[in-house]
Structure 1
């Protein structure tokens, strides 16, 4: 029974993400999610009490993966390999989650729902920047890092590049991010 509940929850989250991409978080109702799934609104409420809970749950796996990347990077003692690892893994995460990233970058509803996790002194974004720039980065390096992170996310989720294959996109994003944060291109 638990497996069925997990499958239903996964279908619900996939459906919600699909609707968020078309209608936005604010334009997607719990009833719309229920209608697409072919269930009652009460069935949706069984899994999630609010749309904000659904929104957070849609983003949570990718955020958890980003935290795992940062946790692993924190165990690496040499800054160069740590930065290379973070760049490669961050770009991989963006490319694997292109649809979610597009919504994360453009929809105020999902930005609001994930803001408490992403922003703040000990936030994911603060940790990510520290891994890429080091603890004593000057303002210019901090700005360049934020440009790189935002650029990778925006471009990785861009509908204009939807037809570009993942490996090509990944290659170009890694290259652009390396240039932006001042890391020379790795030899393949």
Structure 2
């Protein structure tokens, strides 16, 4: 039998960790739990990840990089059409829905990795692109409803085809902005 590549093992560890974190929570899941799930020794996990925090960071890092790059790209491309921005934001949230769900279900993840501040910063950058730098209170509220609702749809709705979900969510978010 061919030996598994290190990247495959690392991905298997990450998937087992995601599954256990979702089931039990991050703080209630130890590296021993993950090793047992995979049928490997704890030292085998330490070969790939120095700690549970290191493993958690490896799960969140791709999302953080994508959100940072997304916000930078949008700023550089401004102005951008609202529906285009909302559609791409849906796509980004949908792509990282597993990790976002983990953070929502286990708020310690938001705290441990300082994600709450980052999400607020990213959402603020998107809001400014949608409603400008000096919006009325009504525009701020509409923008928050649009972005928050859109994000919730991308992350929480599982039972609909993604293309239909995306179209409905983007349309509803756009309507929330109150634009003609």
Aligned to 1:74: 75
Gaps of 5+ in 1: none
- 1:101-150: per-residue Cα shift (whole Å, max 9, x none)? 32222211222234x24416993333233233322223333333233333
- 1:81-101: per-residue Cα shift (whole Å, max 9, x none)? 2x3332111101222333333
The whole-number CA distance in structure 2 between the counterparts of 1:168 and 1:180 is 18
- 1:34-93: per-residue Cα shift (whole Å, max 9, x none)? 1122221122222223322222221221222122221211122424x2x33321111012
The whole-number CA distance in structure 1 between the counterparts of 2:46 and 2:127 is 37
The whole-number CA distance in structure 2 between the counterparts of 1:68 and 1:123 is 13
TM-score (ref. length: structure 1): 0.79
Secondary structure at the residue paired with 1:119?
A: helix
- Cα shift at 1:155: 3.1
The whole-number CA distance in structure 2 between the counterparts of 1:125 and 1:144 is 13
The one of 160, 163, 171 aligned to 1:167: 163
1:119 aligns with 2:117: yes
Structure 1 segments of 4+ aligned residues over 6 angstroms from their partners: none
TM-score (ref. length: structure 2): 0.81
The whole-number CA distance in structure 1 between the counterparts of 2:31 and 2:92 is 28
CA contact (8 A) 1:67 1:124 kept: yes
Aligned to 2:52: 51
CA contact (8 A) 1:105 1:154 kept: no
Q: 1:173 to 1:41 in 2, by over 3 A?
A: same
The one of 161, 170, 173 aligned to 1:177: 173
Q: 1:49 to 1:168 in 2, by over 3 A?
A: same
Q: Higher Cα Rg: structure 1 or 2? A: 2
User: What RMSD in Å do the two structures reach over aligned CA positions?
Assistant: 2.6
Q: How many residue pairs are counted as aligned between the two chains?
A: 177
Q: 1:121 to 1:34 in 2, by over 3 A?
A: closer
Aligned to 2:25: 24
CA contact (8 A) 1:24 1:107 kept: yes
Q: 1:141 to 1:52 in 2, by over 3 A?
A: farther
